[in-house]
Amino acid sequence: MESNPLIDRLPSHLKQFIVEQSSSDYTAQDQAVWRYVMRQNVDYLAKVAHGSYLDGLKKTGIDIEEIPEMYGMNRILKEIGWAAVAVDGFIPPSAFMEFQAYKVLVIAADIRTINHIEYTPAPDIIHESAGHAPIVADPQYAEYLRFFGEIGAKAMSSAKDYELYEAIRHLSIIKENPNTTEEAVLKAEKAVDEISANMGEPSEMSRIRNLHWWTVEYGLIGTVENPKIYGAGLLSSIGESYSCMQDHVKKKPYTIAAADQAFDITKPQPQLYVTPSFNTLTRVLNEFADTMALRKGGAYGLKLAVESNAVATAEYSSGLQICGHFTDYITDYNGDLAYVQTTGPTMLAYYDQALVGHGKPQHADGFGSPVGKLLGYTKPIEEMTYSELKEKGIETGQNISMEFESGIKIEGFLYLLRKNRYGNVILMTLKDCTVTHGDRILFNPDWGLYDMAVGAEIKSVFNGPSDPEAFKLEFKVPEEKTQKIIFDDKSKKLHALYKKVRNIRESQKDNTELIEIWSILKEDYKEDWLLPLEIAELIKGKESHASILNEITGFLNSYAQTHPEFQTLIRNGINSYIGNHQLKEA
């Protein structure tokens, strides 16, 4: 398989989510489901989708007739600067975002069952490849998607976010499996509802996921009066792509307010947001990013880092970064950050590059350091020259004493100064050091060397370590895997019939075996409506089979009347596959 450089450069903590696409697992019925959805989509979306959608289908090499191979997609996506990998269902939101930042589409390799042909609660290859990939061919939108991944991957989560993610993942897995009992589905739905009701204050990740949902997944573009579809969830849903254009679905102008509009992944959406242009998406995303710890930093950012109970990075104004689990912080009388503290393995970095000698083994028990300026000085330490530092008594090989405006005091022997390429100090190492804040001892000499990060302020706080590879970051890979459907003998025989019809279509032979297959279907598979459509498509226009065609359309008409949930699917199928046979309303 030809490699895509974008996949090669993915960090190891993302590569662990990549699975092999087992194309041999797709049944002939799966292929028929793909073909049906794509035929309906291309026909209908040509009228209502953003103009770049159909062009994007061609550019990304997605075939209407067959489920795409990841190899073929990667070969063509490479030409537009993107890549694709297969994953197992939902992956954690931060990982999903980070893949986007690397310009890699994550594609759930499974495909929806025929029972969920209109809409699936689980991510599948129709949604990911036929929904996301074509629109990525638009350069302006592709840059928005990449930028969203970059910002979204750094959004702070709460401890509850992952709990909700696992509950939704579980629900989507069992709901897509036709062998799941109704009792199990109801239990999973109840669990999602209970967690959702007790989430507390929405985290940055939950709010930015709302923005992702209302744009990347369910976005409309144009005007409220005349919108077009660009969101992948709508582009891949033959049911909702139609219903969303109806008046009962409220259309709102897209603004940052969408960050506070929750969604239910298991149901059609009652409202959608319309952006006038892809540029507006980027503007709103920047507006949201300005509210994040990523850009606000300070005590606000440290509060979110502590609450997240996850690895985060705090970046000083000097460029020095602390990466670890933040467990405490101190503020001064103005509420400004005075001291930060991590617990457990911590790494120091400088502008996203790990500092040699300051990895997790060197700071295995945590790291604490002051923030701010020295008392009585307007210039921060990181901007002082060597002579200015010496003038203030800060010199290597000497006992020094420093008091910060916040009241933090540091006394000890200055052993080493770490400077950046411009000669500015970013880190101090002291021996026999004592750090205090009032009566509170923050560090004592018995603990060994004290490394003090230098910086007047924490300008940024964000999710994850700034140098994931050096930190050896590992995401928690979900233990529950997508369930492989166990087919009984009757289902396997049906799939074999689908395979025969597919072979007949591809060989373009006038095969009388179609009549035999229809005879089996009407006796043994009275609940299947898709294969009769495929047979009807192949015998239409042939006088010798006119009576059989009428028999099949009569069956479809009757089935639609007794199963109104399939009526639209069958009507659209007859129009697409046969053309000149009208289905009566139920």
How do residues 474-489 score in pLDDT, each as one tens digit? 887 777 777 778 889 9
pLDDT, residue 3, reads 65
Specify if 481 maps to a domain. Answer: no
H helix intervals, 382-541: 386-391, 468-471, 489-507, 513-524, 530-539
Q: What is the mean pLDDT of the chain?
A: 90
Identify the domain boundary among 234, 251, 286.
286
Residue 468 in this model has a pLDDT that exceeds 80:
yes
Q: Are residues 70 and 148 in the same domain?
A: yes
∠ CA 503-527-565, nearest 5°, is 110
First CA to last CA distance, the chain: 50
Q: Are residues 190 and 267 in the same domain?
A: no
For the chain, give the percent of residues with pLDDT over 70: 98
Q: How confident is the model at residue 192 (pLDDT cuts 50, 70, 90)?
A: confident
Query: What letter would DSSP give residue 436?
Result: E
pLDDT, residue 233, reads 87
Q: Are residues 92 and 218 in the same domain?
A: yes
- Cα distance between residue 520 and residue 517, in whole Å: 5
Specify if 585 maps to a domain. Answer: no
**Token output for 98:** 């980070």
Specify if 538 maps to a domain. Answer: yes
Instruction: Specify the CATH number for the domain of residue 261.
Output: 1.10.800.10
Extended beta strands in 380-457, E state:
399-403, 408-419, 425-437, 440-443, 450-453
Q: Which of 361, 357, 371 has the alpha carbon at shortest distance from 324?
A: 361
pLDDT, residue 585, reads 43
pLDDT, residue 370, reads 98
Phi and psi of 339, rounded to 5°?
-155, 145
pLDDT, residue 25, reads 87
Mean pLDDT of all residues in 560-575: 90
Q: Are residues 225 and 166 in the same domain?
A: no
Count of structural domains, the chain = 4
Residue 130 in this model has a pLDDT that exceeds 70:
yes
Q: Are residues 369 and 508 in the same domain?
A: no
pLDDT, residue 272, reads 97
Mean pLDDT of all residues in 368-384: 94
Q: Are residues 347 and 236 in the same domain?
A: no
Q: Are residues 246 and 304 in the same domain?
A: no
Residue 100 in this model has a pLDDT that exceeds 90:
yes
Specify if 484 maps to a domain. Answer: no
Mean pLDDT of all residues in 267-291: 95
Residue 581 in this model has a pLDDT that exceeds 70:
no
Q: How confident is the model at residue 201 (pLDDT cuts 50, 70, 90)?
A: confident
Contact 203, 157 (CB under 8 A): yes
209-256: pLDDT as tens digits: 999 999 999 999 999 999 999 998 888 887 888 889 999 999 999 999
Specify if 164 maps to a domain. Answer: yes
CA 497 to chain centre: 37
H helix intervals, 68-203: 70-77, 93-101, 125, 133-136, 139-152, 159-176, 182-196
Specify if 483 maps to a domain. Answer: no
- Cα distance between residue 173 and residue 121, in whole Å: 8
- Cα distance between residue 341 and residue 322, in whole Å: 9
Q: Are residues 358 and 467 in the same domain?
A: yes
- Cα distance between residue 127 and residue 138, in whole Å: 18
- Cα distance between residue 349 and residue 333, in whole Å: 29
Specify if 340 maps to a domain. Answer: yes
Q: Which of 191, 27, 212 has the alpha carbon at shortest distance from 132?
A: 212
Mean pLDDT of all residues in 108-130: 82
Q: Are residues 149 and 166 in the same domain?
A: no
Specify if 562 maps to a domain. Answer: yes
Q: Are residues 351 and 467 in the same domain?
A: yes
Q: How confident is the model at residue 1 (pLDDT cuts 50, 70, 90)?
A: very low
17-63: pLDDT as tens digits: 998 888 888 999 999 999 999 888 888 888 899 988 888 887 777 88
Identify the domain boundary among 238, 269, 286.
286
Q: Between β-strands 220-222 and 227-229, what pairing exists: parallel, antiparallel or unpaired?
A: antiparallel
Q: Which of 203, 212, 283, 213 has the alpha carbon at shortest distance from 462?
A: 203
Contact 254, 273 (CB under 8 A): yes
Residue 586 in this model has a pLDDT that exceeds 50:
no
Name which of 122-136, 152-166, 309-323, 544-558 the model is least confident about. Answer: 122-136
The listed range with the strongest mean pLDDT (82-86, 133-137, 518-522) is 518-522
Selected residue with higher pLDDT from 259 and 113: 259
Q: State the residue range of the domain holding 14.
A: 5-158+201-286
Q: Are residues 450 and 547 in the same domain?
A: no
Q: Are residues 195 and 214 in the same domain?
A: no
